[in-house]
């Protein structure tokens, strides 16, 4: 999908939610797990979504490539011990991820945030 030819919708369920990308020209649509973060050249994007507490929504990362009129999922990574909260592309291959972790103490818990570098490599 070319830049600005699509619409991003948030889909709210009773518990949890997702996003949907819709191509305005041909009606192609695809539900994705999290907010999309497009690469600098707009040829790919990742989604990140964190749900460490309730587990109603996907907790992980998806990576897609963009074609002329659709998107193709390249991988999906379900994460158990931390959640990807935000992403920022540094260039067309490297992404900084904000990683949230839940720390539990007796009677309370809190979230910590660390940052990690994700590099997209072709096989």
106-to-3, 13, 90, 110 alpha-carbon distances in Å: 49, 32, 39, 11
Do 50 and 61 form a contact (C-beta atoms < 8 A)? no
pLDDT in tens, 15-42: 778 899 998 888 888 999 999 999 999 9
User: What string of DSSP letters covers 8-21?
Assistant: EEEEE-SS-EEEEE
Task: Parse the chain into domains and list their residue ranges.
Answer: 6-119
Q: 26-60 burial, b for 16+ CB within 10 Å, e for fewer?
A: eeeebebbbbbbebeeeebbbbbbbbbeeeebbbb
SS3 assignment, position 120: coil
pLDDT in tens, 33-92: 999 999 999 999 999 999 877 777 889 999 999 988 889 999 999 998 899 999 999 999
Q: What span, in angstroms and rounded, lies between the C-alpha atoms of 107 and 89?
A: 38
CA dihedral 76, 119, 56, 73 (to 10 degrees): -30
């Amino acid at each position: 999908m070319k830049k600005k030819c699509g619409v991003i919708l948030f889909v709210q369920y009773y518990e949890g939610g997702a996003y949907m990308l819709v191509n305005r020209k041909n009606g192609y649509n695809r539900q994705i797990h999290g907010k999309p973060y497009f690469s600098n050249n707009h040829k790919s994007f990742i989604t990140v979504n964190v749900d460490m507490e309730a587990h109603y929504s996907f907790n992980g990362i998806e990576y897609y490539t963009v074609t002329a009129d659709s998107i193709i999922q390249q991988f999906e990574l379900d994460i158990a011990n931390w959640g990807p909260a935000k992403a920022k592309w540094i260039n067309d291959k490297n992404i900084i991820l904000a990683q949230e972790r839940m720390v539990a103490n007796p009677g309370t818990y809190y979230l910590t945030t660390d940052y990690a570098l994700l590099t997209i490599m072709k096989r």
